[in-house]
Amino acid sequence: MRIGLATIVSLAGLALASASIPVSLYGLHEYALRLLFLAYLADVLDGWVARRRGEASELGFMLDRAIDRVSQIIAPLTLYASWIRGRAPEEYYILFTIYFSIMVSTGFYRLIYRRVTTLEYFHGLPMFFHAGILITSMVSGRVIPIYILYLGAVMSIAPIRYYRRGRSGGPSPGVAPRAVLLLLLALIPYDNRLVTGVSTLIYYSLIAYLLAGPLLYKAATRPAQPQSG
């Protein structure tokens, strides 16, 4: 395997996401969040680099998916588990530990056994939902109702098609805006109303996607009705 620049960027993202785990366990939640945002920045850039340099390959795609299991599942779950200590009752923490185990198992099951045969839709609720709702809940200072987390776990396991933007399978638009946004999130202070408000908006948008994603997919793929007359 030739180690290209895209692979180096991917591995840098893995290192950042992995570093956030001990940092969060040590109680430095804000620094762990910043490391995660930098890891997501690397995730945005590695695909762009691969396409620009002609390094895109099936092996690189699988490496990216494997790294996502750390950055989108293990790291944010660990961070949230550390963050809710003292913020939620012990019963919640026990139920979250079970959810933690389910999501790690589901993530690696999907990596190994659920092949990505098309880019027109997500095979079940995508893993980024869980990372997104965990992170936005922390930034906005709210504890997620446990039934939301369990519903998300069920929908990630179920073979249900979820709406996916850019269903043609081409490169995602807006690499530069997403990269700038993630860089800002890694640098700006979080204790202000703007960041809290935006995080709250994204939090509820993710819940709406959890509930309406399959309906959006059906609406997007519904054949056009022939016009009469």
List pLDDT tens digits, range 67-79: 889 999 999 999 9
Checking if the pLDDT of 63 tops 50, the result is: yes
Checking if the pLDDT of 168 tops 60, the result is: no
DSSP code string of 29-68: HHHHHHHHHHHHHHHHHHHHHHHHHT---HHHHHHHHHHH
Q: pLDDT grade, residue 115 (50/70/90)?
A: confident
Q: What pTM value is reported for the model?
A: 0.88
Checking if the pLDDT of 226 tops 70, the result is: no
Token pair in block for residue 55 = 């390094």
Long-range contact set of residues 165-169: C-beta below 8 Å, sequence gap at least 24: 166/119, 167/119, 167/120, 167/121, 167/220, 168/119, 168/120, 169/118, 169/119, 169/120
Average pLDDT in the 44-72 region? 80
Checking if the pLDDT of 125 tops 90, the result is: yes
What pLDDT sits at residue 169?
43
The structural domains of the chain, with segments of one domain joined by +, span 5-221
Checking if the pLDDT of 224 tops 60, the result is: no
Average pLDDT in the 163-173 region? 58
Q: pLDDT grade, residue 56 (50/70/90)?
A: low
Average pLDDT in the 219-224 region? 76
Instruction: Report the range of poorest mean pLDDT among 42-56, 84-98, 144-158, 165-179.
Output: 165-179
CATH assignment of 5-221, among 3.40.50, 1.20.120, 1.10.10, 1.10.3470: 1.20.120
Q: pLDDT grade, residue 170 (50/70/90)?
A: very low
Token pair in block for residue 87 = 């913020």
Checking if the pLDDT of 36 tops 90, the result is: yes
List pLDDT tens digits, range 176-221: 888 898 899 899 988 888 889 999 999 999 999 999 999 999 888 8
